[in-house]
Structure 1
């Protein structure tokens, strides 16, 4: 049983503990053989950090037989923002098979890890990709037994190239990774005497004879049915490999299309918001344009009236319709004059025309008058029903 309280305690120091816990729980619910542990991981520069790893086996189907491949998935403290570090951990009765997906140290290289995106990638998807990839190229094989096989002495039919053989297909080169040092004491399930690697599990894929059945012991010759079975097995293997390649390619295309769809949806939302904003601005502009046209017409009418009238005094033109408005106008003019007086008092102090004591005394008196005038203007506007 998984101690979820302890697992949350281990993940407390992670940057996104809730997201990491959800990802781990989902993977463990689908694959009961995977269990979490907390251990020190040593990086390539020699530094170490206590991290949580997921260790156990995953079921891999190879030629119709399900094998349990031992793996170890290390979660970085920035998970899920950064991809985890994955290893194949062969037991004592297994040998590591190096390929373009697994290096000599057991470190796993997959396009899913290289293209890891926190919003679209998770541990469950990573394990699914491992199962499909290892189903085509098993990362481990059983150690050969000490018994010596005696080949028949009679002539046999040669096996065509590409139909399998000792060691399987040639491994593609892959840049070697830095060895995973200091972690040799990671615990695994104890191997059994049956050569399976784990108690009750079927044996791991043999090192040789992938896809080509051996002739029956004691016959000395290869019969027609042997050749037929060999050809059928080779064709099935080739079709299965092609089908898996096609499935992986379609999955990659679907992921690309999904990302494109998400981007298009986000772009549509942004465009709709921009269109709504532009429509609102267009309405506001039309409204302001009508107001400007009305004001322009009023100005033209006023200009025509002014041209027909005699010259007049500007001071006489500024008149009010009520005593309250006249009081408001006089208070505003006096407050503006006090504002100018305070400004020029400051300029006089800066130029050294007056002393600081005189400046402070006069500014205090003028400010008191200005405060009273502003209060009077506020009362007048309130009484007249104007905006304050």
Structure 2
């Protein structure tokens, strides 16, 4: 009997990749009876599922937690819990936002907010890279975009950290996590009410003014939209920046090159080698044969993009971190109609964070004995990375 893949297990969170390797080789259609789901880990299978929302549906959401799975998932996941054509209609409400031209125009503000976080930390010499910088920067940028006042940014991020936390082996969310979700919902309701009274030049005001088939979005839809933007979208980017920093500490040649001009390559290979997006769930819409097994309609299927990014059929020597690797085939941002809307912004944030670090820092060390990983069924990353830096 092989290793157990359980996305709620802290052992998996610490290092899922040996289990993923076993699954790709020996159980490409993996079954977890206790949690009642199947899992796909090979690149070709994950890619095919992402391309086929008619068979692998989002209608019950993308999370396996009981209180996040089901027809009500749309209330917290917004268009992530929709299939085409409804999914596309909601995405189109954002217009040009997050598209490449918009992202290019946003770069000066992204750099401004990044530098505002980083410079005081570098002047101190030692700080928590994960909590005080990597997670803070994407949160600042998204809060700024949707119109949340700066005084609330750190509190929003703290509640988002709680929202995504799970206890070891437990799929039911804790009272602390539920309370954090309630506080966030109240914050978003307050923002929506304020923007209804006094519209501003932010994304929340634009969504209030948007229409679908001539009708405005309901308050429930607007709250779900803000949960998606602030409480989901920016989380992965923050984790990705921290993962790049961690692997730079583990591989000094990578850090040296990354801090001295190869920030893009550093970020791209981290996306491939150790993506924060580990698992996304789907509902199988009809009985289907997968790897010789008949999987029933309605089955829950976990797609594992981080496992797919280590598939040797696509990425030679996949367990080696290689700055010269062609990463164009990675699927860290998904694929098909549910390709991550914020992918271009996330890449920019990742690159700018590493570039600005390289502008100020010539070398660094991480106290791994006191580092602390996050624990989430969906994401991988660091909650705490105590860092000492050498200034340029």
Measured against the shorter chain, the TM-score band is: under 0.3
Higher relative contact order (CA closer than 8 Å, sequence separation 6+): 2
Q: Which has the higher helix share?
A: 2
TM-score computed with the length of structure 1 as normaliser: 0.20
TM-score computed with the length of structure 2 as normaliser: 0.20
- The structure that has the greater radius of gyration is 1
